[in-house]
């Protein structure tokens, strides 16, 4: 499991934003992963996607790494942010905008506002 932890740490260090998900950003394989990837794609965030279905060590390793039992998991600047419910709440409250802005992660504020308007 230490190999998985090392690979996760290296992936998180090499990318400002990482989404550990079932499937890929182009083809999510579960509704929760699809929702988070959809938000990130819609607002134009550049992120690395890690398909946990392709690697059982990473699939279990990411849960151990974060001490969080579910996938997807979003990391920004190496810090665990949350899963689908947390990212959804943060998107709707504007907290995700703030997190990205504070970490110099480029995103389309107008698109983020459109999500909030559509869910008001």
Tell me how many degrees the CA angle 94-99-100 measures, rounded to the nearest 5.
Answer: 100
Q: How many CA atoms lie within 13 A of 11 on its CB side?
A: 22
pLDDT at 120: 86
DSSP 78-117: TEEEE-HHHHHHHHHHTHHHHHHHHTT----HHHHHHHHH
pLDDT at 2: 74
CATH number corresponding to 2-118: 3.40.30.10
Instruction: Tell me the per-residue pLDDT of 46-82, one tens digit each, with 9 for 90 and over.
Output: 999 999 999 999 999 999 999 999 999 999 999 999 9
Q: Please tell me whether 30 is known to bind a ligand.
A: yes
Question: What is the residue-averaged pLDDT of the chain?
Answer: 96
Q: Per-residue pLDDT for 110 more than 80?
A: yes
Q: Per-residue pLDDT for 99 more than 60?
A: yes
User: Percent of the chain scored above 70 by pLDDT?
Assistant: 99
Could you tell me the pTM of the whole model?
0.96
The domain segmentation of the chain, as residue ranges, is 2-118
């Amino acid at each position: 499991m230490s190999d998985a932890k090392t690979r996760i740490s290296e992936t998180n260090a090499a990318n400002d934003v990482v989404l550990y998900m079932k499937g890929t950003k182009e083809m999510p394989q579960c509704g929760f992963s699809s929702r988070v990837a959809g938000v990130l794609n819609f607002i134009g965030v550049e992120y690395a996607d890690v398909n946990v279905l392709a690697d059982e060590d990473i699939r279990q390793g990411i849960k151990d790494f974060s001490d969080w039992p579910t996938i997807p998991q979003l990391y920004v600047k190496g810090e665990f942010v949350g899963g689908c419910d947390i990212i959804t709440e943060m998107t709707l409250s504007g907290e995700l905008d703030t997190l990205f802005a504070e970490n110099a992660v480029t995103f389309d504020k107008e698109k983020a506002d459109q999500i909030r308007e559509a869910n008001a």
